[in-house]
Structure 1
Amino acid sequence: MKKKSFGFLMIAVLMLLLAACGGGNDSGKASEENNADSGNGSEDTEEHYKIGILAPEVTHGWVAAVAYHAEERVKELGDQVDYQIQTSSNAEQMTSQLDDLMTWGADAIVAFPQWEGMEVPIQNAIDSGITVVNFDIAIDVEGVYRVAGDNEDMGIQGANYIVDKIGEEGNVVVLEVPSSGSVSELRTKGFEETMAEIAPDMNLMTYATEFTREDGLADFADILTSVEDIDAVYSIDDETSVGVLQAIQEAGRTDIQVVTGGGGMQEYFEMMPENEDIWIQSALYSPVMVKDAVDIAIDVLNGEDVEEETIIPTTVVDRDNYEEFLDENSPY
């Protein structure tokens, strides 16, 4: 009896062990199937990146809109990114902030380097393995990506517009902004070269100003006291042009037929139909383009093929089509 009972006991133990082993295998398969069904496998894991944004301090509505749209885009990306936005008043401060972002562990930096002297620090960041996408400004750095409007074409469109309105001869004040680097250089280059080609007898008078309405007002008020006859003003910025128009109004001048601009300022658009004596024009250079710069940074980090330079075409806005570009939600 004892031997028989022992035999039954051994059989029972063996059956339990086999059941346990079989149950373990079924549980493993179920776990794998659940992982596959839920999409939690490593192949589907979304990358998480640290994105730094460097912009100038807000001294200009367009710059404020750039910072606004950049932050809006990284917020739209949600949990895919951590981000920091730094603003600076000069190249030295921006360089320090660039170093801070590198220490933070930024995978990519979207930079708007408005000042000279950013070439070396940006090159150092790229050499350390950080993806850098420059917004707007062109600098001589190997490996940097860039997103910008077509600055040179803005000048070309400005020249064509002025000739269309005043003819091939006249006095044109050219307001350049040397402190803006390549932006002013390219817009002025496109304008002057095109004017030399299509209206070689046009008299161009060049003066320096800044991208603010206060400078546009003060500088153009001085110009008006020294230049008796002006047919058109080639201004490369909407906010500067607002100041120019104020100076014209305060001086009571009626000789000026055209004032150009650039950017995409809602207030400037709304002025276009208000003055029938002056053709007010803007070469659209929307601050919303900075969202493309953020997206390109993400694309590069994801290993996608990206062109080093993305240039967004120019659109001319004046009283005939300004309503198409009004946006009550725009911060600029």
Structure 2
Amino acid sequence: MKKAFRLFMLLALVMVPLLSACGKSTSNDAGNSPSNSASTTPSSSASSSPSGDTTKKFKVGILAPAVTHGWVAAVAYHAENRAKELSNEIEYKLQTSNNAEEMTAQLDDLMTWGAQAIVAFPQWEGMEVPIKRALDAGIKVVNFDIVINADGVYRVAGNNEDMGVQGANYIVNKIGKEGNVVMLEVPSSGSVSELRKKGFVDTLKQIAPNMKVQTYATKFTREDGLKDFADILTKNKKIDAVYSMDDETSIGVLQAIKEAGRTDIKVVTGGGGMQEYFKMMPENKDIWIQSALYSPAMVKDAVDVALKVLKGEDAPKETIIPTTIVDRDNYTQFIDDKSPY
């Protein structure tokens, strides 16, 4: 009996590791091995698409100026938000720059990254050559706002000339066909200022040929609007209206008027769609404050055009968004507390 018992115990000790090893092997065969789990994902993707890949996204680059102006900041904000909304279809990179040279280098980086489309918002001259290089490489380019002289570029912009037309009509509607108007142009903004000026001047010639217009140069900042208009006020004892092309400039103009204690000015126009400027409209009962809406949110349309082109869908070569006039009669319709501008 003792011999039989010892033999039984010896067999039991041998069988334990064997059974344990068999248990481990069974667990792996059930689907926990790395090789087995790795093979299921690609086969699942391939079965849902004839091409074998439904997760591929289009690569879209976005080029914008560095923040020197509230409107510019809002362009980058809205562009990125739209790209995030389309994240199931596109992969994006947003780059901001301080000058044409920096933007050119960033465009080269986007080409190296493999961008299939680029939404470009250049604010300087000299971008035609690098944009042409991208086009020659087969990259789709959607130009936002300022005109780029290169064949094959898609363009999305507001109607700059119509902003000038609407500004002229608004001033005549408020002060009549005769008076003294100061026009603040911004030569450094290129086609933006040129087109707004053209619309304003041409329209005044048609509807109020006796209107006296004096033109001064400034910039799209409230600091320049304040500084330049303070000087203009000392040179002009009677001003009936101010044709300003930009909301930021207009805020500076209004501050200069207030500090000078002037009560002769009855209209100050603007442009862009700035929330702070909208909220000033009802506060100034003696001055009609107007903005020709040129919303930075239009850049969303530029991102949409880029995606349409990449998907092979029809997209217009040029998308021009109509002008909307905002003043104290309708400003509440355009208040957006989430807007960065």
Q: Which range, TM-score by smaller chain?
A: 0.7 to 0.9
Q: Within 5 Å, give how 1:1-332 maps onto structure 2.
A: 39-42=48-51, 45=54, 47-332=56-341
SS of corresponding position for 1:98: helix
Q: Distance in 2 between matches of 1:79 and 1:168?
A: 55
Amino acid of the structure 1 residue aligned with 2:51: S
Per-residue CA deviations over 1:28-55 (Å, capped at 9, x if unaligned) read xxx9xx9799734438836511111111
Once superposed, what is the RMSD of the aligned Cα atoms? 1.8
- Residue identity matched to 2:218: T
Amino acid at match of 1:218: K
SS at match of 2:123: coil
**Cα distance per residue 1:41-82 (max 9 Å; x no partner):** 438836511111111110111100000010111111124222
Report if aligned partners of 2:45, 2:54 keep a CA contact under 8 Å in 1: no
Q: Is the 2:45–2:53 Cα contact (8 Å) retained in structure 1? A: no
SS in 2 for 1:306: coil
Q: Identify unmatched segments of 5+ residues in structure 1.
A: 1-30
**Counterpart residue type for residue 199 of structure 2:** G
Q: Which amino acid counterpart does residue 91 of structure 1 have in structure 2?
A: A
Counterpart Cα distance in 2 of 1:46 and 1:156: 48
Q: Give, in whole Å, the separation in 1 of the partners of 2:118 and 2:125.
A: 18
Counterpart CA distance in 1 for 2:204 and 2:53 is 55
SS state at 1:221 partner: helix
Name the CA distance, whole Å, in 1 between partners of 2:100 and 2:267.
35
Alignment identity in percent? 74
Q: 1:173, CA displacement in angstroms?
A: 0.6
Conservation of the 8 A alpha-carbon contact between 1:90 and 1:115: yes
User: What is the CA–CA distance in structure 2 between the aligned matches of 1:297 and 1:123, rounded to whole Å?
Assistant: 17
SS in 2 for 1:172: strand
**Number of matched pairs:** 300
- The AA in structure 2 aligned to 1:163 is V
AA at the equivalent of 1:157: Q
Q: Distance in 2 between matches of 1:309 and 1:36?
A: 37
Q: What is the one-letter code of the residue matched to 2:146? A: I
Structure 2 counterpart SS, 1:78: coil
Counterparts of 1:244 and 1:173 in 2: how far apart (Å)?
11
Normalised by the size of structure 1, how large is the TM-score? 0.87
- Deviation per residue, 1:75-101 (Å, 9 max, x gap): 111242221111111111111111111
Amino acid at match of 2:239: I
Q: Work out the CA distance in 1 between the residues paired with 2:86 and 2:330.
A: 33
Kindly provide the amino acid, as one letter, of the partner of residue 279 in structure 1: W
Paired with 2:46 and 2:116, the residues of 1 have a C-alpha distance of 31
Query: Does the Cα contact within 8 Å between 1:262 and 1:284 map onto a contact in 2?
Result: yes
Aligned residues of 2:46 and 2:52 also touching (Cα < 8 A): no
Matched-pair contact (CA < 8 Å) for 1:262–1:285: yes
Is the CA contact (8 Å cut-off) linking 1:133 and 1:297 kept in structure 2?
yes
Distance, in Å, in 1 between the alignment partners of 2:56 and 2:145 is 27
Mapped contact 2:46–2:53 kept (Cα < 8 A): no
